[in-house]
Amino acid sequence: MSTVPVKYHFASDNTSGVCPEAWQAMAEANAGYQPSYGADALTQQACETFRQFFETDCEVFFVFNGTAANSLSLATLCQSYNSVICSDVSHVETDECGAPEFFSNGSKLLLAKSSLGKLDPADVERLITHRTDLHYPRPRALSLSQSTELGTTYRPDEITALCQIAKKHGLHVHMDGARFFNALAALGTTPAEITWKAGVDVLCCGGTKLGMAVTEAVVFFNRDLARDFEYRCKQAGQLCSKMRFISAQWLQMLGNETWRKHATHGNTLASKLADGLRSLPDVDILYPVDANAVFASLPDSIKVGLKERGWMFYSFIGGGSRLMCSWATTEADVEAFLADAAAYS
Amino acid sequence: MSTVPVKYHFASDNTSGVCPEAWQAMAEANAGYQPSYGADALTQQACETFRQFFETDCEVFFVFNGTAANSLSLATLCQSYNSVICSDVSHVETDECGAPEFFSNGSKLLLAKSSLGKLDPADVERLITHRTDLHYPRPRALSLSQSTELGTTYRPDEITALCQIAKKHGLHVHMDGARFFNALAALGTTPAEITWKAGVDVLCCGGTKLGMAVTEAVVFFNRDLARDFEYRCKQAGQLCSKMRFISAQWLQMLGNETWRKHATHGNTLASKLADGLRSLPDVDILYPVDANAVFASLPDSIKVGLKERGWMFYSFIGGGSRLMCSWATTEADVEAFLADAAAYS
Amino acid sequence: MSTVPVKYHFASDNTSGVCPEAWQAMAEANAGYQPSYGADALTQQACETFRQFFETDCEVFFVFNGTAANSLSLATLCQSYNSVICSDVSHVETDECGAPEFFSNGSKLLLAKSSLGKLDPADVERLITHRTDLHYPRPRALSLSQSTELGTTYRPDEITALCQIAKKHGLHVHMDGARFFNALAALGTTPAEITWKAGVDVLCCGGTKLGMAVTEAVVFFNRDLARDFEYRCKQAGQLCSKMRFISAQWLQMLGNETWRKHATHGNTLASKLADGLRSLPDVDILYPVDANAVFASLPDSIKVGLKERGWMFYSFIGGGSRLMCSWATTEADVEAFLADAAAYS
Amino acid sequence: MSTVPVKYHFASDNTSGVCPEAWQAMAEANAGYQPSYGADALTQQACETFRQFFETDCEVFFVFNGTAANSLSLATLCQSYNSVICSDVSHVETDECGAPEFFSNGSKLLLAKSSLGKLDPADVERLITHRTDLHYPRPRALSLSQSTELGTTYRPDEITALCQIAKKHGLHVHMDGARFFNALAALGTTPAEITWKAGVDVLCCGGTKLGMAVTEAVVFFNRDLARDFEYRCKQAGQLCSKMRFISAQWLQMLGNETWRKHATHGNTLASKLADGLRSLPDVDILYPVDANAVFASLPDSIKVGLKERGWMFYSFIGGGSRLMCSWATTEADVEAFLADAAAYS
């Protein structure tokens, strides 16, 4: 009996490698001696590029992955006796193995209801206000994901409304932007409009899923909150000695609209994939395909068939099968997947 | 007025980039889709290569840097109310910004006297036994560095003696091997002889300073201690999603004696640098140059002169000027440095 | 306008003071010099009394309050990357301000459904097994409360069934016994039958609500888990220097059936209170009054009226008004409350 | 063979019980029902009494012991990546089993040299300034003990000088006042003069060693630092439910000069004890007996003889035998001890 090789194409947007532009930037950075730990010129330039990108004098730090970016920034917003309001489907709750609680030394996550992956403002306010006694951890941060874990995006006014509730009650606002660029490309706004102009204090800006190697950026729009953050990174094992390889990638991705090319590509193929699936009988697309994720309700026959042909995908959140596109996904990948799905339809 | 560019050649062994072999391995790994988080075939092969390298069925995990490798492994050996015996010049004490205390949630480092950077066995035993009341954190781990922070190396029998003291009192043994390969190349032993055969329970095996990008390996020879370590890595933000880039490097470095080539090279040039400096008047070489570090007592005239010509180096430990060599250091680098030193001698 | 003084009689079972027997024991202990930190003879005797009480060679430690008892024992059962399964109405989740997460450095609480305050075994098993990937904290402890936060009690067979599920999956079992003695008095079993014989590994045994001053006992039936627990207590600020005052109370309460007298008294008056309320129109008693808590659904007229007459009580859990009885509650207290309730009925 | 009972009279100032005044205050507080967790009237009065005592609008919190008081207040002054400058003989370093590191999630203690138990200002400044790179935890708090662990006291101008160094570099000042009242009685200043007027931000004010049961007060003169401290106490298991018993004691001790009576008594008997010992041949008193501690260098014959007669005392710090007096020490105790010492002289 022959075994079909497993196909990880749509399993996640981190099963692909590093995009050519990021790779080239790293290759060019790999020359000569540079000061370590971010004291090099490339790192300074990369941070400056972030400031231009967001049109504001933000503070920027590079860490190794999203778990660290989210957890370190939440630990900065909260003391151990504080709590974080987040969505019941948020990554910080469901897929970081207690990292936010670990880095903050005990801050509790309070789960607000969500609709299409987006926080319900009324439930957020209820959670902030329903307990004010000291036997319950005091809410101090609101965390939202852009794009959301269900592949949807918050419009600027939706972010503003949530931030206003947070600010009214003295909470800071954190944005998990593991797929920030997908959201940005989809919304067609400026980066500023969906972050600091809407009230976001700190953004975890995803590099890995955009096609980079081993980096996320933590961007503090509220500069007061960035105080000593470099010490926090160092102590938590998130200060890269050979920082130039990280910085060079960011410089390339942000500085030359490379981010837009790849994010738009992932979004477009996700949309195409959704369209193709939608046309099959008994298949439902569960959420608006705003970004690079497709959540589909597939009949068992299709699920089993796709598996037999090697396609791997998850169904641990959102109540359906999740299919992710990335910079690397090709039209041929999508067509092959759709053909196999149709064959079992 | 013209400014001389700063020369970071000898400032650290992490001011150089990625060596050609590791780079090539990463480039080859950057093809197609792979499962994330270490479930890929390259990672399995890399771990297997470690087992062959150490001639034992060890457990292997890859993290991003030495701070994390050391701290996570010490946190595994200790509970918060335990303490770690380490040298007064150990990196975990002097240069990790409290990371061991952070990851372990409070384990205290107890500082033993050292000679030439190496732990004094009698003082280690004194520290383990001088307090047995519960008002003092109970020693549970012994940490030694190979090569040491002063560029010296422990011989197998020295390691064995320290490990025996540790075991006698119920302590586990941790080895900070940020420059493990430099030590190994210098000693000419097998990897096993200076680790598990001597009693080491867990080794943090340095990739970055050997010429790799963003990785250290945590190697548990005592497999019981490795239980659930993958969860610990994940929670602490040290699980790489695109693990293939890390694994590919290790496979290349360990599997083809590439480690030996680069480690020997760094050691040889350090030795040459020391010889050259030693020949200058009023210069002392402070410690045996066993590996890739030279600690020199330089007259002020030379220090000022080297600085004027752009050479950057540190003097925060060991009471002298520290000069590091790496895979990238060239004979020409050494000669240029020595010529400039001689000019101010 | 005259103000009615607030009546805290039924607000909690910690609004009463110290019972005469415990007081007398402390007074007798207050003579002469004693070694500190539990090295005194009274402490040894108190621990021995626990062993007799539970008919097993358990390890016993005294801490200051229930938050510490629960959190320190859960921190012993779990590493930071582990999780605790507990009821959605459990005190550790709702009223300890993130203490379990703090003491454990990040262990997450996973909330199982409950019925009448008691864990639903099927949901417990679902929670243990539904995620086995390392992106989710691995369940390592099951926590149940006896009596529950809704005033109900687990029968021995119910505890056994839950413990069996836990053990099957490698979890330890923790019992929050803030009102353990109320449960014990109500059930009429031996202490052993509802603890270690049913599979409980560690019990937090409540003194404060039983009528004592500033103490809870942590009882490890699984002695392996007790290793170094005294260090954990010390480091966490839970080692009392003048331990004799705590030990003397326990010796008295356990050694002379004083616990039974007071626990039974609280239970009996709760039952009487429930009966009285039940006889009023539009009043429902929401849960079986197994122990010393009454949860009543009161019409607004009664709630407002009782408040006007000074009666204070909470309604933050269980969906009704919670009324607690203690060793200090008198028949007259109950009658006065019922009369006032009837007046507004 | 008959065994001499062990005499703990001078082993510590916590081997004595509760003084009559504190006991009486607790007894009176043990009546009726009171709101829990510090919402009672006695607690409000006790806090107000502290404000009068210190002549300033300070914030006051009661916790169970000194380990918690010191650690929670230091955790408030520091983030995990910060460090605390303290004396090499400080209690937080030598006898709290890593509690400061635990509560702060990793803040490191940096040890400054001391003379007669008092911090050396020059070494304090050296420690604050010698490392400013982010590989070393940034100093954020200075901790001094009053009276010191060697029984000496800081004069107001000495405190002022240390506080000025701290403030100059942005550090907050913590005072470990486990024996604050002994120092205060000895110095004859006002409470304000040796605390906030000299620059102290937060004082841990010792009740236990003064003759009270299970309490220390944390007094924030810098009110900004007190923000949310009640949550920190609650989460850390340091919020007492039956707070009235703690508050009643403080009200009595501070409000009626009871503190002065007992502190002076302990100091006077320590002085008498020192005088008696000093008159014996080959006995040296090692430090000025400013407060209630005597450190004596005793010949072996005396040490052995005293031990044979049952006298217990420690010699783990200060290089001599430590003898402590308290509210309970009697002239007869001192005379008996001296007579036994003389007998072996």
Report the C-alpha gap between C119 and C197 in whole angstroms: 19
**Closest CB to D106 among A134, A138, A235:** A235
Q: Is C58 exposed, middle or buried (0-12, 13-18, 19+ CB in 10 A)?
A: buried
| CB-count exposure of residue A308 (10 Å: 0-12, 13-18, 19+) | exposed
Average pLDDT over residues C185-190: 98
| C312 lies within 8 A of chain D by CB | yes
The shortest CB-CB distance from D135 to any of B95, B107, B137 is to: B95
Q: Where are the beta strands (DSSP E) in chain A?
A: 59-63, 82-87, 108-112, 114-115, 118-119, 138-145, 172-177, 202-206, 216-220, 284-285, 293-297, 321-324
Q: How far is CA A121 from CA A187, C126, C213, D17, in A?
A: 21, 30, 44, 56
Q: How far apart are CA D163 and CA D225, in angstroms?
A: 16
- Chain D hits for B102, CB-CB cut-off 8 Å, are 80-81, 105-106
The answer to whether the CB of B150 falls within 8 A of the CB of B178 is: no
Where in chain D are the domains?
A: 20-255, 258-343
Set of chain C residues whose Cβ sits within 8 Å of the Cβ of A135? 94-97
Closest CA to D235 of D107, D83, D63: D63
pLDDT of residue A317: 83
* Subunit contact B237:A68, Cβ cutoff 8 A: yes
Q: Which residue of D has its CA nearest to A132?
A: D231
Burial (CB < 10 A; 0-12, 13-18, 19+), residue A312, is middle
Which residues fall within 8 angstroms of residue C1, CB to CB, at 6 or more apart?
Answer: none
Nearest Cα to Cα of residue D64 among C233, C250, B81, C240: C240
* D134 vs A105, A134, A231: nearest CB: A231
Distance from CA of C19 to the nearest CA of D (A): 9
User: What is the dihedral sign for C-alpha C163, C166, C169, C172?
Assistant: negative
Confirm or reject contact between B20 and chain A (CB < 8 A).
Answer: no
D contacts of B101 (beta carbons < 8 Å): 80, 101, 106-108
Q: Is A240 helix (H, G, I), strand (E, B) or coil?
A: coil
CB within 8 Å: B80 and C105:
yes
DSSP assignment letter at A205: E
In D193-330, which residue ranges form alpha helices assigned H by DSSP?
A: 229-235, 244-255, 258-278, 300-308
- Contact state of B135 with D81 under an 8 Å Cβ cutoff: no
| D-interface mutation test, from B102, B103, B110, most D Cβ less than 10 A away | B102
Q: What element of type H or E holds B109?
A: strand B108-112
**The three-state (H, E, C) secondary structure of D153-183, written as one string:** CCCHHHHHHHHHHHHHCCCEEEEEECCHHHH
Tally Cβ neighbours within 10 Å of residue C41: 11
- Whole-angstrom CA distances from B343 to A187, B334, B336 are 62, 14, 11
Q: What is the distance in angstroms between the Cα of D311 and the nearest Cα belonging to chain C? A: 12
C108-112/C172-177 β-pairing: unpaired
Using a CB–CB cutoff of 8 Å, tell me whether C128 touches chain D. Answer: no
Mutation target for C interface from A65, A71, A97: give the one with most C CBs within 10 A. Answer: A97
Q: Is C135 on the interface with B (CB under 8 A)?
A: yes
DSSP codes joined into one string, B36-79: STT-SHHHHHHHHHHHHHHTS--EEEEES-HHHHHHHHHHHH--
Class of domain C258-343: alpha beta
> Rounded to whole angstroms, how far apart are CA atoms A188 and B34?
31
Question: What confidence score (pLDDT) does residue A316 get?
Answer: 79
Side-chain-facing half-sphere of B39: CA atoms under 13 Å = 13
Structure confidence at residue C69 (pLDDT): 98
Give the number of beta-carbon pairs within 8 Å between A and C.
61
Which residues are CB-contacts of A121 (< 8 A; sequence separation ≥ 6)?
A161, A162, A165
A173-186 pLDDT per residue, tens: 999 999 999 999 99
pLDDT per residue as tens, chain B (345 positions): 457 899 999 999 999 999 999 999 999 999 999 999 999 999 999 999 999 999 999 999 999 999 999 999 999 999 999 999 999 999 999 999 999 999 999 999 999 999 999 999 999 999 999 999 999 999 999 999 999 999 999 999 999 999 999 999 999 999 999 999 999 999 999 999 999 999 999 999 999 999 999 999 999 999 999 999 999 999 999 999 999 999 999 999 998 899 999 999 999 999 999 999 999 999 999 999 999 999 999 999 999 999 999 999 998 788 899 999 999 999 999 999 999 999 998
Q: In whole angstroms, what is the distance from residue D179 CA to residue D211 CA?
A: 11
Question: What is the rounded CA–CA span in Å between residue A275 and residue A294?
Answer: 10
- Round to whole Å and give the CA distance between C250 and C238: 17
Give the N- to C-terminal CA distance of chain B in Å, as an integer. Answer: 25
- Asked whether the beta carbons of C135 and C105 are under 8 A apart, the reply is no
Structure tokens at C183: 């449960």
Residue pair C311/C7 in contact by the 8 Å Cβ criterion: yes
Looking at residues C217-238, what average pLDDT do you find?
A: 98
pLDDT of residue A1: 47
Chain-centroid distance, C-alpha D82: 23
- Residue tagged 């050519």 (tokens): A20
Q: State the pLDDT at residue B2.
A: 57
Please give the Cα distance from A291 to A147 (Å, whole number): 7
Are the beta carbons of A214 and B240 separated by less than 8 Å? yes
pTM: 0.97
Amino acid identity of C70? N
Which helix (H) or strand (E) covers residue A77, if one does? helix A66-77
- Closest by CA position to B185, among listed B114, B246, B270, B251: B270
Assess C310–A contact: CB distance below 8 Å, yes or no: no
With tokens 């006007």, the residue in question is: C308
Q: Are D213 and D18 in contact (CB under 8 A)?
A: yes
Indicate yes or no: CB of B134 within 8 angstroms of CB of D97: yes
CA D287 to chain centre: 17
Ranges of chain D with pLDDT below 70: 1-2
| Minimum distance, in Å, between the CA of residue A134 and any CA atom of chain D | 5
Report the residue of chain B nearest C229, measured CA to CA: B81
Q: Which of D6, D34, D65 sits opposite C241 (nearest CB)?
A: D65
* C-contacting chains (≥3 CB pairs under 8 Å): A, B, D
Look at residue B1 in the predicted model and tell me its pLDDT.
Answer: 47
Q: Residues of B52-74 as b/e, b for ≥16 C-beta within 10 angstroms?
A: ebbebebbbbbbbbbbbbbbbbb
D135–A contact, CB cutoff 8 A: yes
Residues 6+ away with beta carbon under 8 Å from D216: D62, D63, D64, D65, D66, D68, D69, D178, D204, D205, D206, D207, D208
Structure tokens at C226: 């007790």
- Per the DSSP assignment, residues forming a β-bridge with C294 are C323
Q: Does C230 touch chain B (CB under 8 A)?
A: yes
Residue C9 to residue D33, Cβ atoms within 8 A: yes
Question: What is the amino acid identity at position A231?
Answer: Y
* Nearest residue, CB atoms, C15 vs list D17, D33, D312: D33
Residue D297 forms beta bridges with which residues? Answer: D284
Cα–Cα distance measured from residue A172 to residue B281, given in angstroms and rounded to the nearest whole number = 61
Which among A52, A93, A11, A43 has a CA at the least distance from the CA of A249? A43
Integer Cα distance of A49 and D133 in angstroms:
25
The two beta strands, D216-220 and D202-206, are antiparallel
| DSSP state string for C110-170 | EEEPEETTEE-HHHHHHHHHS--STTSPEEEEEEEESS-TTS----HHHHHHHHHHHHHTT
Given a contact cutoff of 8 angstroms between Cβ atoms, the answer to whether B107 and B83 are in contact is: yes
What pLDDT is recorded for position C3? Answer: 76
The count of other CB atoms within 10 Å of the CB of residue D231 is 22
pLDDT at C79: 98
Give me the CATH topology for the region A20-255. Aspartate Aminotransferase; domain 2 (3.40.640)
Q: Which residues contact C216 (CB under 8 A, 6 or more apart)?
A: C62, C63, C64, C65, C66, C68, C69, C178, C204, C205, C206, C207, C208
Angstrom distances, CA of residue A21 to CA of A50, A261, B114, D80? 18, 11, 49, 38
* ipTM of the complex model: 0.97
Chain B within 8 Å of A116 (Cβ-Cβ)? no
